Homo-oligomer: A and B are copies of this chain.
Amino acid sequence: MVQDSDAFAADLLRGHTDTIVLGVLRRGESYGFEIYKTIRDATGGAHEIKEATLYATYRRLEKDGLVESFWGDETQGGRRKYYRITDAGRAVYARNVAAWAATRDIIDSLLIERH
C-alpha cells in the first residue's frame, strides 16, 4: 500500500529489526519489554516496532545463536526473560552495520538528485 504512509513507514524499517535489537543488546543485557521501550523511546515514538514483531525477533535471533536467553530471578513481580548477545551476534551486528552503511549510500545515490 504505497499511498498509506503508516504502512509504508513500517516497511521502511523492515530488514533492520534484527540488527537494531542486536545493537541494543550490545550495550548490555536486557529483557523483552525493556528492549521494546528502548527502541520506542530512541525514535521519539516516530518508529515504534510492535511488540509481536520483537518477540518473534527474539526467538529468531536465539534460534540462530545470535543471542541467548535466561529467566530473571525476580522472586516477586512479573517474570522477565533476559537476553544476552553472543560472539556470533556481535559478528553479525558488525557485518550488518557495514551493510547498512553501504546500502544507505546506494539508496541515497538512487533517490537524491546529483548536481
Q: How large is the interface on A (under 10, 10 to 19, 20 to 34, 35 or more residues)?
A: 35 or more
Say yes or no for A19: interface residue by CB 8 A criterion: yes
* Chain B hits for A2, CB < 8 A: 18, 60-61, 64, 66, 92, 96
Task: Name A107's contact: one of B20, B95, B109, B111 (CB within 8 Å).
Answer: B20
**Known contacts A2-B61, A42-B106, A47-B106; 4 further A-B pairs (Cβ under 8 A):** A2-B18, A2-B92, A12-B16, A23-B111
A residues within 8 Å of B by Cβ? 2-3, 5, 8-9, 11-16, 18-20, 23-24, 39, 42-43, 46-47, 60-61, 64, 66, 92, 95-97, 99-100, 102-104, 106-112
